[in-house]
Each structure stands twice: as structure tokens, then as C-alpha cells.
Amino acid sequence: MAESPTLTHLQREQCAPDLADALGHWVDWLRERNLSKHTIRAYCGDVGGFVTFLCGHLGRPPSLNDLSDATIREFRAWMSRRAMDGASAATRARGLSGVKNLIGWLDRSGIMHNGAIKTVRTPKLPHKLPRPLSQRQAQSVLDNAETLSAATDDGWIGSRNRALFTLLYGCGLRIDEALSLNISGLPRDGFIRVRGKGNKERQVPVLAIVERMIAQYRTDCPFAETNDRPLFLGERGKRLHQGVAQKAMRDIRLALGLPETATPHALRHSFATHLLENGANLREIQELLGHASLSTTQRYTEVNAEELIRIHSAAHPRNRTPE
């Protein structure tokens, strides 16, 4: 097998000659793709760990045939062993990715095939909420969304961005919910109907400022309106793409010096966090966000713990300085 600083002597000794040779060619292929040394080292470490597991499981160094015959039970057993050894879900997911990369390359190269690996589920990673903006930061985004939008001859673009981001923060909509709105779905009687995840519909109250920003955008937008026309349009008059909205937010973030976590979804999260800070209860926030489970909404309280501690410290009578 070709010598490689990313495959240890122990890993080479634990492979049958044909698998060891294939591993060497696989590493060469990884290098040809200009992957970073860190990525190659991580992949090789993960594959080496699986080879070590197979060696112990079979009682001998595994060959290409053994790798081809590996079953879903063996892949799951390896993943379970890693979990028992304390590997995080992210580490196990990366390990499975490395093994899938190797087996995929072996398959495409006509060396061997293993269909079981495709049925192994990637460990579910914990869902991380974006950091909310402070109330001052959120207001700054809305105040500057129009003037800080990318320079364009079409002045209505800035008006569109301000209306969109005001809607996200003022109503707590997901970005895809906002972009899926049509003219026929405009706010009526102070409410807007939103179709969210699972095709579930909910009613969300609309602030007067949100209605004003949308009205101004509609006035500025040069494209004719019909009931089935998308509310938010791109420069060519088609439904606004999520990537364009994200880029607009990124431009604003950079101009204002906000953290990388200042994304369109962070505006939705900020909506919920600021409601919580101002006395709304979780059930009310759950309804507004369209969460199926209260446990999903409760994650907002975890991120908001620092604010709750501050309020508690300031308000609790036992924390007051004696006069």
C-alpha cells in the first residue's frame, strides 16, 4: 500500500492486503480532490476506527470481500460502540460520512459494492437555534434595511427588503412562509394566514408597522399585481428566492457590524425571544410560531436564560443592597 502520513501502521496491519491497497488509492484520490489535510486525517481516522472494529468483530484483518459483505447490523454495532465510548452525535455522523465516502469511491471505481451502507441513518444532530438579536439590533436592521441594501438602479428593492424583514420580525414567520405569500394572502382585519410546516395553517396578528411597510413596498414595486402573484418579487418579477433574501440580510449585517448569526431566521427567533422578555407565555408564543410541540418553543427559554437571570437578580428583594 502506498505510504501515507494519514494512515497509521496499526491501521495498515489490521487490513488484509487488498483492502490496505485500496485504502492507499482512496487516500490518493482524496488528495487529488485538494481536500484539506485535516479532512483527510479525519476521514482516515474514522475509516481506521471502522477497520479496527471489523477486525475485532471478525477475529481477523478484514478484506474487500468482508467490507462488501458488511451488513446494516455491523454498521449499527460500530456506531453504537462509538456512542458507548463517548463519541458525540456530530463525531459519529462525521465517522459515518468517512466510511460512506470510502465505500462510495470503491463502488464508483468498480472495486466492490455494499448496498447496506446507504440504509444506515446519520445520527440526529441537536438542533441549534440561532442567537437572537437584541431589540436594538433588530430595530437597526429594520431602520437600515432600505438604505443598506445592495446598490441597484431599482430603488424598490430596498423597500422590498425592509417590508420582508419587518414581516419576519413583526410576525415571527419562517423565511419560506413569508416568501410563499401571494397578493391574495395579504393581511386582512389585522391578521395574516400562514401555511407552515405540515401544511398547517395558522393566523398571526399583524402590527400596523408591518402593514405600512408592505403597503409602501407594493406602491414602489413596478410589477402589476394579480391575486395569484407572489408578494415578494425578485428583480425579474419572479418569486423572490430565499438565497437572495439571505444575501440581502448578510449585506446589512456586514454594514452594521452584526454577528454572523444575524440571519433572516434570527429575526423570527428574535420575535419570540423579545415576546418572552416582555411577558408573553410559551403557549401564546407556540401558537404564533406554529410549533406543533411546546418542547420546541421551550428551547427559546434556554437561550434566554441569561436575560431571565438578569431580571431575577434585579427584581428579587433578597438581592437588593441594604440601605
User: Is 186 among the domain residues?
Assistant: yes
Rounded-to-integer distance, Cα 272 and Cα 282, Å: 9
Lowest mean pLDDT among 11-20, 25-34, 111-120, 132-141: 11-20
Q: Which residues are catalytic?
A: 174, 197, 265, 268, 291, 300
Q: Between 310 and 140, whose confidence is greater? A: 140
User: Is 321 among the domain residues?
Assistant: no
Domain residues for the domain of 184 are 135-315
pTM: 0.57
User: Is 323 among the domain residues?
Assistant: no
59 and 182 fall within a common domain? no
205 and 288 fall within a common domain? yes
User: Is 1 among the domain residues?
Assistant: no
Q: What is the mean pLDDT of residues 83-102?
A: 89
Res. 126 pLDDT band, cuts 50 70 90 = low
Look at residues 77, 94, 119 and tell me which one is the last residue of a structural domain. Answer: 119
CATH number, position 155: 1.10.443.10
pLDDT (0 to 100) of residue 117: 92
The yes-or-no verdict on residue 151 having pLDDT over 70 is no
Rounded-to-integer distance, Cα 53 and Cα 78, Å: 7
The yes-or-no verdict on residue 2 having pLDDT over 60 is no
CATH number, position 59: 1.10.150.130
Look at residues 66, 86, 119 and tell me which one is the last residue of a structural domain. Answer: 119
154 and 273 fall within a common domain? yes
Tell me the pLDDT of the chain averaged across its residues: 84
- Name the domain count of the chain: 2
Report residue 303: phi and psi, to 5°: -70, -30
CA 221 to chain CA centroid, nearest Å: 31
Look at residues 119, 147, 180 and tell me which one is the last residue of a structural domain. Answer: 119
User: Is 178 among the domain residues?
Assistant: yes
The yes-or-no verdict on residue 307 having pLDDT over 70 is no
Ranges assigned E (strand) in the chain: 191-195, 201-205
CA distance between the termini of the chain: 79
pLDDT (0 to 100) of residue 3: 43
Which residue, 105, 87, 94, 81, is CA-closest to 32?
A: 105
Res. 60 pLDDT band, cuts 50 70 90 = very high
